[in-house]
Amino acid sequence: SPAVEDLLIDGALLIEPARDDPFARLLDARGLPVVRIGRQPGREDAPCVDLRSGETAALLLHHLEETGARRIALITATARRASHEETEAEYARFAQSRAMPPLHLRLDESGGEALGHAETLRLLEAHPEVDAILAMVDVFAAGACRAARELGRAIPGDLRIATRYDGPRSLAAEPPLTAVNLGLPEVAREAVKMLIPMIEGDPAPARVLAPDARLTVRASTLA
């Protein structure tokens, strides 16, 4: 992208870059200091604040199980970000350890809530035994809530729904969504603390861990 190539910057923060992210490739090619917020798959050597997405997924899956879920479906995105890859790996371990047949959809984030709605309708019609959905993208989770209501599935009595990021969409969903506080202000501070020495020519640590994620339980999983 010419816009990225011509940017007059001394360094950059890159938020959750996907595997083979073109912006990361261009910034690295310019030799600019770059700190990833979220590990970039395939670039484990690059300085980053590790969002610990596998641990976040485990937190959410165990919460769903503790509320009574026994057949949990997973919805992630097609973009190969660490948050999705780590969640998928954690879900596979979780399912295998419980002899739970995995049900996993990968959806294009550009489809938004409408795609989450349509695919959840199909999922629940094909697998009515599903009693929980972990939708890692908040718009997919909102679409899942709408689909459940249309099918007469009570939330959370018949179906629990949780998502990853505790942002405005999670709170505005109907019902409000159980999600995770990722401690993003602290994450941003840590990323800037890493970047400034790099701009000044000093080495930076390869990886800093994000703070412990905190579960925010709402009506989508617990009455």
Q: Per-residue pLDDT averaged across 52-74, rounded?
A: 97
* pLDDT at residue 4, as a whole number: 54
User: What is the distance between the alpha carbons of residues 157 and 115, in angstroms, rounded to a whole number?
Assistant: 24
Supply the pTM of this predicted model. 0.90
* pLDDT at residue 3, as a whole number: 57
Instruction: Give 182-220 pLDDT, tens digit per residue.
Output: 999 999 999 999 999 999 888 777 889 999 999 999 999
What mean pLDDT, rounded, does the chain reach?
A: 93
User: What is the distance between the alpha carbons of residues 36 and 119, in angstroms, rounded to a whole number?
Assistant: 31
Amino acid 58 reads A
The lowest-confidence range among 18-22, 70-74, 129-133, 202-206 is 202-206
Q: CA-based angle 147:79:47, to the nearest 5?
A: 130
Instruction: Give 82-101 pLDDT, tens digit per residue.
Output: 999 999 999 999 999 999 99
User: What is the distance between the alpha carbons of residues 187 and 179, in angstroms, rounded to a whole number?
Assistant: 17
Say which DSSP state 51 is in.
Answer: -
* pLDDT at residue 153, as a whole number: 96
* pLDDT at residue 1, as a whole number: 45
Q: Per-residue pLDDT averaged across 135-162, rounded?
A: 96
Whether the CA torsion 89, 126, 140, 142 is positive or negative: it is negative
User: What is the distance between the alpha carbons of residues 213 and 62, in angstroms, rounded to a whole number?
Assistant: 14
pLDDT value at 17 more than 60: yes
Collapsing DSSP to helix, strand or coil, 204 comes out as coil
* pLDDT at residue 204, as a whole number: 74
Question: Going along 25-183, which residue ranges are E strands?
Answer: 34-37, 48-50, 72-77, 103-107, 132-135, 160-165, 178-181
User: What is the distance between the alpha carbons of residues 26 and 30, in angstroms, rounded to a whole number?
Assistant: 6
Instruction: Give 127-142 pLDDT, tens digit per residue.
Output: 999 999 999 999 999 9
